[in-house]
Amino acid sequence: MTPLERLLREMIAEEGPMRIDRYMALCLGHPQHGYYITRDPLGEKGDFVTAPEVSQVFGELIGIWTVAQWGAMEQPERIHLVELGPGRGTLMADVLRTLARAAPALAAAVQVHLVETSPVLRQKQSQALGEGVTWHARLEDVPEGPMILLANEFFDAIPIRQNERRDGQWRERVVGLSEGGLAIGIGGIVPGPMGEEGSILEVAPFREQIARHIGERLAGHAGSALIIDYGHLKTAPGDTLQAMRGHQFVPVTEAPGEADLTSHVDFEALAKAFGAGGARAHPAMSQRQFLLAMGLEPRMAQLAAKADAETGAVLNRQKARLADEAQMGNLFKVLAVTSAGLSTPYPFGP
């Protein structure tokens, strides 16, 4: 039994079954035992691998997109470059290296802000990025002003709620106690649309709250946001809550505090929340579509032309991991959001 599971059992025994979002929040962010607070979860020795860790080209292409957005914003002299949940700092390091090479004036203009709560990952980010970076616990603490915001695999870890259709009514799913320990059960009646018996509907008020806030910032100052995550383009019922430990899926109530808990992002609902804040959400696309449009293949070919056969094979595997439909290419989606008056960001427009 993990220390957090012992604490959760005590809380549930005293207070009753716990909502899924509260369970997720404690598992991921408890100040002493939370998953993201106590470890570096990334890489082969961790629990999962993100796209920036697969290949530097991922960050380079996002860097090129960032340059284009700065141009669409009429190149402000100072601009906040913000990343939500920046992992080890790998993506930001690759983006900044690309800016220095492709747009030195932008590299000089950016002020880097990282929104990160994990002290372990802040240390990793400091090692990757050096000086000139400001950390924040919340996006609300980032100063107002022109902004380009990046969020890769951030929204999937924001806690969600789940409702299950039982006997013609929606009932909220909760975490309670069973003979074997923690277990998911059914709680009280909640409002909802019509649905089939046994179906599960996920709602994400905390995700939407963050998206609305970003939309409000983009409504107040020129800027853009790029959201990359795994999920679905259209709202649909389904149970997508999952736990990952040692690169393997495990039950969501197993080893709380030592497994990553995430769910698929509903990009339709997220886009509506950005719009509710006053920003313009452009049609989302797959990661494959985005990377190919941004020049993944010619960049990989350029690197392969200078590489030996072994390195060339590695580059091919990296390209497949990022863009093949059976790997990250189709599972992950990309959403661009801009201030209402900005031109449509390439490659999201006609």
pLDDT 10s digits, 182-235: 999 999 999 999 999 999 999 999 999 999 999 999 999 999 999 999 999 999
Q: pLDDT above 90 covers what percent of the chain?
A: 93
For the chain, which residues make up each domain, given as ranges? 3-294+326-338
% helix, strand, coil for the chain, step of 5? 40, 25, 30
From the CB of residue 3, how many other CB atoms can be counted at a distance below 10 Å? 14
The CA angle 150-72-214, to the nearest 5 degrees, is 35
The CA angle 139-119-8, to the nearest 5 degrees, is 90
Q: Please, which pLDDT band fits residue 350 given cuts at 50, 70 and 90?
A: low
Q: Please, which pLDDT band fits residue 247 given cuts at 50, 70 and 90?
A: confident
Residue range 266-285: mean pLDDT, rounded: 97
Cβ(136)–Cβ(84) below 8 Å: no
Residue 75 sits at φ, ψ, to 5 deg, of 50, 65
Residue range 313-325: mean pLDDT, rounded: 97
Give dist(CA 274, CA 257) in Å, integer. Answer: 31
Question: Dmax over Cα atoms in the chain, in whole Å?
Answer: 64
Question: Which residue is it, tokens 């590695």?
Answer: 314
209, 205, 90, 72: which is closest to 150 by C-alpha? 90
Domain 3-294+326-338 belongs in CATH node 3.30.70.270: no
- Cα Rg, the chain, nearest whole Å: 21
Six-digit token pair at 53? 């860790």
Check pLDDT > 70 for residue 296: yes
Query: Which tens digits make up the pLDDT trace of 17-64?
Result: 999 999 999 999 999 999 999 898 886 666 788 999 999 999 999 999
Check pLDDT > 90 for residue 117: yes
What pLDDT score was predicted for residue 322? 98
Give dist(CA 25, CA 12) in Å, integer. Answer: 15
Give 281's strand partners: 337
263, 267, 301: which is closest to 286 by C-alpha? 267
What pLDDT score was predicted for residue 48? 83
Give dist(CA 265, CA 293) in Å, integer. Answer: 23
Give 79's strand partners: 110
C-alpha distances out from residue 118 to 202, 221, 288, Å: 26, 29, 30
Q: What predicted TM-score, i.e. pTM, was given to this entire model?
A: 0.96
211, 183, 229: which is closest to 23 by C-alpha? 183
